[in-house]
Structure 1
């Protein structure tokens, strides 16, 4: 499907780049409304997010421990762009767009045009589901599965920017020479949550039938107020029924860290459909500690319970007759309010230009 950003983004009869439709959503808290329902169920809005968020922000794709050895690669689809990060011989990381961006297809098949990542043998394709990290053979040499990512001359592939933040790998596909901006406040919160005393004790993939924004906001939700906000992050605290204090950090757009005592879960969110999100969970705790294991299990249970709330909210938003009669249009969740403000800011920051030239004109006006 050819995407023409210059033709605009429209859904439910609205121009999704019109500031007027977000004016109420960015009003002061207590007066602000929720985002338009198209933000959670529209293909056009998902394409707009690809343009405004996934191709311009720093996006977490995993942890450095995923690719410990020379030659290992970590694939990840950022929006609709298939990329990978490879561990080099000197220990550094190098990010590139995949060699087979569209697999073996000469055009995008119909089943790949609806915003859902499909199961395909070409996992390098920007429209297919990702596999896990691929380990190189002994000595750092590639394996056949890497060819669709690296091709024959990986040094000729278009580069993406890569940075590491407390063990996380982040990429920015908007150019090869970008630097991750420093944020001492965020660094401090991440450092305290993922303490050096905690080991990576497990990893699992969990998938939930809800939009990525809904999942992120419920994972970081709090009834006790926000601890702090930063340029691209918000931190919260809440007390569980057990009396345990749970801390959460949402690093916009796709990282959520929840921690309690001697355990923490780092979650990398990836939209696999408009109404489905893959959550790559990295479990941290104290090795060989029964108490740490029980707290890790408690955190995973909290993640699952929060995700169920997001799934229920998504079901309500997906109803054709939404909003129902008892729907409250006001945004009463402080974390969700912060998240939608982050999103709207990126939408409004998109570069735009008005073209006076008609869309169709004589062929003499075209340079062929």
Structure 2
């Protein structure tokens, strides 16, 4: 989480820390290209994202209604850091790093060192897929989950900063962040209840998914847009909110591989809305998501097959996202240690 001055991010001769690499991406919308093609396919760029984005930004990890009762626990992997947020007896939220960062394994298993997240029957960790919410009754003393996530003395675990906006939960693991600094979080003023939620996984780099959802949700031809009373907004890096007259969809994006993204979906509606009206409203939003998933997958394939120049950026939402990402990956951070790195 703390930058080493000798760390380099070079892949196939491309220096991802060189601001000149992104000159064409920073051009005005309509003239700009997408990010360099290898930004969507390179494991080196993925490591850069872990350093400059996931360990620096406020990341949406879920919603409060998912952990309604005291001691319920929400696991989430930010980059390669395994954390959780737990509901406290007084109703507050406490974020911590997991006690077992490798899921309790003494070393990282070989199958977990690949480019794709591994389905692990043991627990969630920085190298495997997250499991769903762990209810309080599964965290009894001496239970495997208690040992893997909390340990005997949870108070000794490294804390994680947590903020909320309405039902949305945000976490930040940057140890250099000013504790008094208030994050720019999306406003949530509606009185809505979470009635359902599920996860989907789609084939596209996470950087393509959010803008694609926003574009489809704003398109009248796709069934969204103002004429259909649908709006959409994204919050960097991984949150998309899609609103219709009778429902709000929360999409939390989490990369599970270079070309795969987990979409964590939560559907909210006014408490007075009937179940049938809620299902109809959510059905309309799901149809938009299905279109977005197909478009994101096609865009991923287009990038992988583009061997010449980088494709033009045709999405305004994508262009805005790229500007935020470029600002972060080219930002300089305080180095914690000036000694040179040595190859073992």
- Give your verdict on TM over 0.5: yes
Query: Counterpart in 2 of 1:230?
Result: none
Q: What do you get for the CA RMSD once the two structures are aligned? A: 2.7
Per-residue deviation at 1:10? Answer: 1.2
Partner residue in 2 for 1:151: 151
Does the residue aligned with 1:270 lie in a helix, a strand or coil? strand
* Aligned mates of 1:114, 1:4 — CA distance in 2: 24
Secondary structure, in 3 states, of the residue corresponding to 2:136? coil
In structure 2, distance between residues paired with 1:238 and 1:68: 35
- Kindly provide the CA deviation profile for residues 66-108 of structure 1, in whole angstroms up to 9, marking residues without a partner as x: 1111111110000100001111111111111101101243333
Provide the rounded CA distance (Å) in 2 between the counterparts of 1:206 and 1:271. Answer: 12
Q: Is the 8 A contact 1:238 1:245 kept in 2?
A: no
Aligned equivalent of 1:309: 295
Counterparts in 2 of 1:358 and 1:57: CA distance versus 1, 3 Å = closer
Report the more deviating stretch, 241-250 or 291-300: 241-250
Q: Distance in 2 between matches of 1:348 and 1:178?
A: 23
Aligned length in residues? 334
Listed as ranges, the gaps of 5+ residues in structure 2 are: none
- 1:34 Cα deviation after fit: 1.2
Q: 1:200 aligns with which of 194, 197, 211?
A: 194
Q: Check whether the contact 1:237–1:248 (CA below 8 A) recurs between aligned residues.
A: yes
Which structure has more relative contact order (CA 8 Å, sep 6+)? It is 2
Partner of 1:97: 97
Contact kept, 8 Å, 1:209 with 1:311, in 2: the verdict is yes
Query: Structure 2 vs 1, CA of residues 88 and 134 (structure 1 numbering), >3 Å: closer, same or farther?
Result: same
Is the CA contact (8 Å cut-off) linking 1:285 and 1:293 kept in structure 2? no
Contact 1:285 1:296 in 2 (8 A): no
Greater Cα radius of gyration, structure 1 or 2: 1
CA displacement at 1:339 relative to structure 2: 0.4
Contact between 2:36 and 2:310, CA under 8 Å: does it hold in 1?
no
Q: Distance in 1 between matches of 2:235 and 2:43?
A: 24
Output the TM-score relative to the length of structure 2. Answer: 0.88
Pick aligned residue for 2:313 from 305, 313, 331: 331
Which is further off, 78-87 or 287-296?
287-296
- Distance apart, 1:330 and its partner CA: 2.4
1:239 matched to 2:220? The reply is yes
1:281-308 Cα distance to aligned partner (Å, 9 max, x none):
0012244243332121010110111111
1:273 maps onto 2:257 in alignment: yes
Shift of the 181–33 alpha-carbon distance from structure 1 to 2, 3 Å rule, reads: same
CA distance 1:212–1:328, shift in 2 (3 Å)? closer
Q: Does structure 2 retain, via aligned residues, the 8 Å contact 1:238–1:247?
A: no
- TM normalised by structure 1 equals 0.83
Q: 1:284 to 1:123 in 2, by over 3 A?
A: same
CA contact 2:4–2:338 (8 Å) conserved in 1: no
Secondary structure of 1:220's counterpart equals helix
Q: Distance in 1 between matches of 2:239 and 2:205?
A: 14
Cα deviation, residue 181, structure 1: 2.2
Name 1:249's counterpart in structure 2.
233
Distance in 2, matches of 1:105 and 1:144, equals 13
